[in-house]
Amino acid sequence: MPDNFANGTEIEVTNLNLWYGENHALHDISINIPKNSVTAFIGPSGCGKSTFLRCLNRMNDLITSCRTEGNVGINGQAIYTKDVDVVDLRKRVGMVFQKPNPFPMSIYDNVAYGPRIHGAKKNAIDGIVEDALKAGALWGEVSDRLNSPALDLSGGQQQRLCIARTLAVKPEVILFDEPCSALDPISTSKIEDLILELKKNYTIVIVTHNMQQAARISDYTAFFLLGDLIEFGKTEQIFESPKEKATEDYITGRFG
Amino acid sequence: MFSNAKLNEKIAFALLKVATGLVVAFVLVILYYIIYNGYSAINLEFITDMPRNRMTEGGIYPAIMGTTYLIIGSMAVALPLGILSAIYLTEYAQPGRTTWAIEMAINNLAGTPSVVFGLFGLAMFVKYLGFGPSIISASLTLALLILPVIIRASQEALLTVPKEYREASLALGVTKWETIRRVVLPAAIPGMVTGAILSIGRVAGETAPILLTGAAYFLPRLPDSVYSQFMALPYHLYVLATSGTNIAQTRPIQYGTALILLTIVLCVNLVAVSVRSHYRSKMRR
């Protein structure tokens, strides 16, 4: 398993186990995720890849029956210890969801939402919104209608707005949970370009059902099956010379 | 076979239409009856004057004001209390025995006859807390009466707010309370207002609870504080129709009172509906 990354390690996970009630959903996951790179999680439905992604910003805390054991460190700081402020953690580790979920507010207010609550100065917000929308590759399309409803945007634009909203909070890591599964091919390719652009400044982890997408945009790929991390390596290696039989079967389309 | 299904479709459709038509017809008949009999009593004096000559002449101004005070007083208490408990129950309370018990209590409260609320108000507010028969006793009693309606409607409204909004906000490192305040509540307000609309009709129309807690048979002046007794439209109507000094002679006044009561409820509802649609359209922005 690789752990000597060119840009260093961002996320370190050791022996992570997770249960939904009695159901043991993640078994002893250990993985190091590199800084300023794109890491893709692939695997068939129900393999635990989304569940694992949601461990990295503790979104699973919202599920009462969910219990975790093991260690997750982000930038050297353990996130499952008692003294960790989950709210603060989620500022550092942003998340973009499967279905675009802008708030029923204006485009501007969506992006300004996070910074406002986190206490950004009033006169700084215009700049933050503009920067975030530019970084989210949406500025050119919406700069003349910032006050129109976010829900009037197309699905792809809404998803880029959600990315901009996440960027406005200035996270270190961005988690993408199948961000393109509800989008058409053109919107998908815009998001993929954006992700490649974002990895210069952020560590990206993306769950995807689409193996071509993983191959196109990721530097590293982790393959999950039935709650186990089967194989993790450079994306070329996983796709061209997988070490595990199960990985090869999945990639060549024998199941999934 | 085929034509049979078609026939059944026609019969079902006709039944549904008749049922709906009947409902509308009843409403129209009641409205027509009240307007037809009541409009002759309505004039400026009727709504701005005190009752005179043993309530056989003059206006119903104190009753109009009394009912208005009751609406304001009970809503001022029940809306915040109901909405806050709905937020607690929906957003914070962990499912378990206590929560179940609370939910059951609310259901039972909703099914309790209003006269029982009146007796409780009499014992609690009028006697024990010493508010006496008064606007405050009656408003508090009515507030308790509509509390379950408001809690239920608010809970439903909160539950219809998509989980995606909450997740999006929490994932931005926003606390749960800020998430509720800034995203969930604005989205739930239209539904909550619906609960309030339903309760206003109840507050304006209930007779038994106020009869026991402060409504006066006759009071030729406005209440001068929240601790005063008051007249209210539904009780005034009851008094005129059953134990007035001259029931036959005051018939037009009775219908006029009913008409004014209906109009007040309608006006308050219109305000509430416009508040609701204001928030709905704001939600799009």
Residues A130-159: tens digit of each pLDDT: 999 999 999 999 999 999 999 999 999 999
Q: Which two tokens stand for residue B216?
A: 């006066």
The count of other CB atoms within 10 Å of the CB of residue A246 is: 17
Q: Considering only alpha carbons, which residue of chain A is nearest residue B179?
A: A117
Examine the predicted complex and report whether its ipTM is higher than 0.90.
yes
Residue A2 domain-assigned? no
Domain count for chain A:
1
Q: Which of residues 83-112 of A touch B (CB under 8 A)?
A: 87-92, 94-95, 97, 99, 101-106, 109
Give the integer Cα–Cα distance in Å for B212 and A149.
51
Q: Residue A126 is part of a domain; what is its CATH number?
A: 3.40.50.300
- Sheet containing strand A93-96, edge to edge, reads A93-96, A173-177, A203-207, A38-42, A220-225, A228-234
Pick among 3.40.190.10, 1.10.3720.10, 3.40.50.11060, 1.10.760.10: CATH of B44-283:
1.10.3720.10
Least confident of A235-249, B97-111, B184-198: B184-198
Residue B284's pLDDT is: 58
Q: Which whole-number Å values give the CA distances from B119 to B39, B112, B210, in the listed order?
A: 36, 12, 10
Residue A256 domain-assigned? no
Is A91 in contact with B173 (Cβ distance < 8 A)?
yes
A103 to chain B: which residues are within 8 Å by CB? 165, 168-169, 183
Residue A4 domain-assigned? no
The mean per-residue pLDDT over the stretch A159-168 comes to 96
Is B284 in contact with A104 (Cβ distance < 8 A)?
yes
Give the integer Cα–Cα distance in Å for A93 and A229.
22
B154 to chain A nearest CA, in Å?
A: 19
* B97-123 pLDDT tens trace: 999 999 999 999 999 999 999 999 999
Average per-residue pLDDT for chain A: 92
Q: Which two tokens stand for residue B51?
A: 């009752």
The residues spanned by each domain of chain B are 2-34, 44-283
Q: Which two tokens stand for residue A230?
A: 């089967």
Is A151 in contact with B178 (Cβ distance < 8 A)?
no
Q: What are phi and psi of A96, to 5 degrees?
A: -115, 130
| The three-state (H, E, C) secondary structure of A210-231, written as one string | CHHHHHHHCCEEEEEECCEEEE
Residue A3 domain-assigned? no
Q: Which whole-number Å values give the CA distances from B266 to B33, B59, B65, B66, B103, in the listed order?
A: 17, 20, 16, 17, 31
pTM (global) more than 0.90: no
Question: Which of A95, A102, A149 faces B171 most closely, judged by CB atoms?
Answer: A95
Is B167 in contact with A102 (Cβ distance < 8 A)?
no
A162 to chain B: which residues are within 8 Å by CB? 168
b vs e for B140-155, b when ≥16 Cβ sit within 10 Å of the residue's Cβ?
Answer: bbbbbbbbbbbbbbbb
Give the integer Cα–Cα distance in Å for A117 and A88.
12
pLDDT above 90 coverage of chain A, percent: 86
> What is the per-residue DSSP string for B75-144?
HHHHHHHHHHHHHIIIIIPPSSHHHHHHHHHHHHHHHS-HHHHHHHHIIIIIIIS---SSHHHHHHHHHH
Question: Which of B164, B172, B284 faces A165 most closely, judged by CB atoms?
Answer: B172
Q: What are phi and psi of A34, to 5 degrees?
A: -75, 150
Determine the structural domain holding residue A195 and report its residue range: 9-251
Residue A112 domain-assigned? yes
The helix (H) or strand (E) run that includes residue B228 is none
A190 to chain B nearest CA, in Å?
A: 21
Give the integer Cα–Cα distance in Å for B283 and A217.
36
Q: Which two tokens stand for residue B58?
A: 């003059």
* A30-61 pLDDT tens trace: 999 999 999 999 999 889 999 999 999 999 98
Is A57 in contact with B285 (Cβ distance < 8 A)?
no
Give the integer Cα–Cα distance in Å for B194 and A253.
53
